[in-house]
Amino acid sequence: MNPRRSKLAILLWSATPERPQLCATPFVHAAAAAAFDCEVEIHFAGPAVRLLVAGVADGLKPWPGSETSIYHMMRQAANLDVSFRACAMAMGALVAKDETLIPEYAGTIAASAFVDRALDPEWATLVY
C-alpha cells in the first residue's frame, strides 16, 4: 500500500476570469488539502494568471446569487498557507507591468516545476 501523499500541486489553466463558475472548486480543494496538513501549491497558467491581478477575482462570483467572491475563496486558501505561483511566460504576456498583484501572490515558477511535481511520487496533482 502506498503511503498517503503530503503534497499537492494544482494547475489552473481553464479556470479563468472568463469562466468564474470553474474558479471556486480549485480553491476549495486547495483549502481542504491544506486543512489536512498538506503542502499545497497552485500554479496559475495561461489566462488564469489574470486572477492574480488585484480586483479581478474580487469582482467574480462562482454562480449567480453567490455572496462569496472568488478572491474570498483564494484568501481562505492562502490563509492556510497555500502558495500561489504563476507561469512567468503567461505573466509577461497577460499582466501589464503597471498592474498591481494580490498580496497572496508568491512569485513566478517555471512550467517545468509543475511537470516535476507530477513526476514526483510525493506529490499529487490536480488540473482545473
DSSP 16-83: -TT-GGGTHHHHHHHHHHHHTT-EEEEEE-GGGGGGGBTTTGGG--SSTT----HHHHHHHHHTTT-E
Domains contained in the chain, CATH given: 7-127 (3.40.1260.10)
pLDDT of residue 62: 95
pTM of the complete model: 0.94
Whether 2 shows a pLDDT value over 70: the answer reads no
Confidence category of residue 4, pLDDT binned at 50, 70, 90:
confident
State the pLDDT at residue 126: 97
What percent of the chain has a predicted confidence (pLDDT) above 70?
98
